Structure 1
């Protein structure tokens, strides 16, 4: 999932970036209003974290332009120190989907963000992915295979989620690289290394390898039964 943070406070932006990346999000940061609006309207995002007080262009203006001029319905979670009811109502009138007052808990940001993305994607009732004996809890970002916990780094979690959401579908290498790393594509061997790490984790106790390498094309999660609510 791709999230854009539009926030001029470097400490807040860094904390949000580190927290979301550790939870398998692909994240980018804009430190001023003009840059934020440009990124918000020229790239695809699953959600935007938007500060109200920004240099160059305030968050309310960005949100209004995003809705009325760019016609984008990307979920927007506004982050602000303004906590009056009128401030919140004004934010909603400009197109915000949710509102969080500073200082905030990173866990609450994560929970609200996940809820917005699920609702936007029509997945409000989707709690987990299941393929063969692999279970991926989407709320806690934990993975189990045959009941045992599987520890994975963030990028491998994201890779597994992509594969499990469309079991048996062949994903091209370029498609996977773009979904996981965006425009800052990694070295040619980076994806292969992540697939290797994912394979090792899923087969650590001698289980069969579910990840197929389709030579000349890419990778797929090969299963005969899958439950993807």
Structure 2
């Protein structure tokens, strides 16, 4: 069952949405203001966030911005009565993934929720694993507070791995992320992975970049006493 959080100050609309989503086998938590919504987001995992734009205490744009700044990659569907292109652009700039203008058809809401729930948001601006932190807005990378410099290719490689972390990314997926269909010789990825390991792991005690036999590569924290996969 999918689990979503609805942040909406119109209680009648909220009740209607919650009841309809339940019929579609979608569990829905509820918050009536932005501050309460952020609190629930910090306490639970949700497949999708349904976020009204006009909210008391903290508006939807601010909620969205704070979540993305904190590195939360939950897909966000903004619900609003505003249908001007500038309003939509503001929403996307803040980090929303999709936009639904009120009034809307309930079935359309369900379709969009299910589509968003299949992926994590690409709008997140901060990625991290353990003590490694990548700030996509400021283009900075640190581990244990120490700045790390990467080549543009190394940056793309690490971003791809961090977005999937802790899951494994196949060699083919990494090659496509770096070069598309114009993949260079077979040693190129190996060289870039070596350089990435040298930058993010070698100066530190605990490795984060792991080779997973016959599957690919992963950025993750593992037990110090556990053998590398």
Bigger relative CO (Cα 8 Å, ≥ 6 apart): 1
Q: How does 1:57-96 map to 2 (within 5 A)?
A: 57-68=58-69, 70-96=70-96
Q: CA deviation at 1:6?
A: 0.2
- Residues in 2 aligned to 1:15 and 1:119: alpha-carbon distance in whole angstroms: 26
- Residues in 2 aligned to 1:18 and 1:26: alpha-carbon distance in whole angstroms: 9
TM-score by length of 1: 0.51
Q: Tell me the residue number matched to 2:190.
A: none
Give the SS at the match of 2:57.
Answer: coil
Q: CA deviation at 1:38?
A: 0.8
Q: Tell me the residue number matched to 1:190.
A: none
Between Structure 1 and Structure 2, how many residues are aligned?
120
- Residues in 2 aligned to 1:71 and 1:41: alpha-carbon distance in whole angstroms: 11
Deviations 1:193-215 (A, max 9, x none): xxxxxxxxxxxxxxxxxxxxxxx
Give the SS at the match of 1:92.
Answer: helix
Give the SS at the match of 2:30.
Answer: strand
- Residues in 2 aligned to 1:10 and 1:104: alpha-carbon distance in whole angstroms: 17
The runs of at least 4 consecutive aligned structure 1 residues that moved more than 2 Å come to none
Is 1:100 paired with 2:96?
no
- Residues in 2 aligned to 1:59 and 1:41: alpha-carbon distance in whole angstroms: 16
- Residues in 2 aligned to 1:11 and 1:105: alpha-carbon distance in whole angstroms: 16
- Contact 1:79 1:100 survives alignment (8 Å): yes
Q: Tell me the residue number matched to 2:118.
A: 118
Q: CA deviation at 1:15?
A: 1.0
Q: Tell me the residue number matched to 2:53.
A: 52
- Contact 2:47 2:74 survives alignment (8 Å): yes
Q: CA deviation at 1:119?
A: 3.3
Q: CA deviation at 1:92?
A: 0.3
- Contact 2:51 2:79 survives alignment (8 Å): yes
Q: Tell me the residue number matched to 1:171.
A: none
TM-score by length of 2: 0.51
Q: CA deviation at 1:41?
A: 2.2
- Residues in 2 aligned to 1:74 and 1:29: alpha-carbon distance in whole angstroms: 16
Q: CA deviation at 1:23?
A: 1.0
- Contact 1:41 1:66 survives alignment (8 Å): no
- Residues in 2 aligned to 1:59 and 1:120: alpha-carbon distance in whole angstroms: 19
Q: CA deviation at 1:25?
A: 1.3
- Residues in 1 aligned to 2:43 and 2:61: alpha-carbon distance in whole angstroms: 19
- Residues in 1 aligned to 2:102 and 2:61: alpha-carbon distance in whole angstroms: 16
Q: Tell me the residue number matched to 1:9.
A: 10
Q: Tell me the residue number matched to 2:225.
A: none
Root-mean-square deviation over aligned CA pairs: 1.2
